[in-house]
Amino acid sequence: MVLPMFRSLAVPHTRAIFSSARALPCSAPNQMNAVRLQSTSAKSWQTGKLNHVAIAVPDLEQASQFWRDTMGAKSVSEPVPQPEHGVYTVFVVLGDGAKIELIHPYGDKSPIANFLAKNPSGGIHHICVETDKIDNAIKELPENGIRLLAKESKIGAHGNPVVFMHPKDTNGVLTELEETKNF
């Protein structure tokens, strides 16, 4: 049975699993039911944890200082130039190990310069999700209607292969896949 409000989620490659709201931790006490969708499509790759959230910043020094001094981040790296990607990166590690990537334009053709021209104060640029087999993802995602911004992976800021998915195919969020050995 699919509740009317979730009818649009009942697509052939997923199945809705309903459970009592009492069985799940929930901050909304009047929530009637919780819905979790599980993929039933076979993939030769899998996703892991959220690796980082990337924030485009107009002033890398100020942003680094904010996360280090005001927010008390566990660590804030020195800026690292990434000329092949057109950015400088600074990685911020929070107390629980969560990571934020501060990105700032490097060079005239930086995609971040365009982003900051539209968003002068900066803002969230992308999220990064880990995967175990990026080459398989690159092959299978387009077969499922997901456009990639490159036909092949590049080496990212962590020294691992990465590829970006088009935000129009990922709910409006530029999403990076990064192959890691964390599986």
Which domains are delineated in the chain? 4-39 (no CATH), 47-179 (3.10.180.10)
pTM here? 0.77
The model's pLDDT over 6-34, given as tens digits with 9 standing for 90+, comes to 444 444 443 343 333 344 454 554 444 55
Q: Quote the mean pLDDT of the chain.
A: 85
Strand partners, 15: 38
Is residue 155 within 8 A of residue 76, CB to CB? The reply is no
The model's pLDDT over 164-183, given as tens digits with 9 standing for 90+, comes to 999 999 999 999 999 998 87
Is residue 16 within 8 A of residue 44, CB to CB? The reply is no
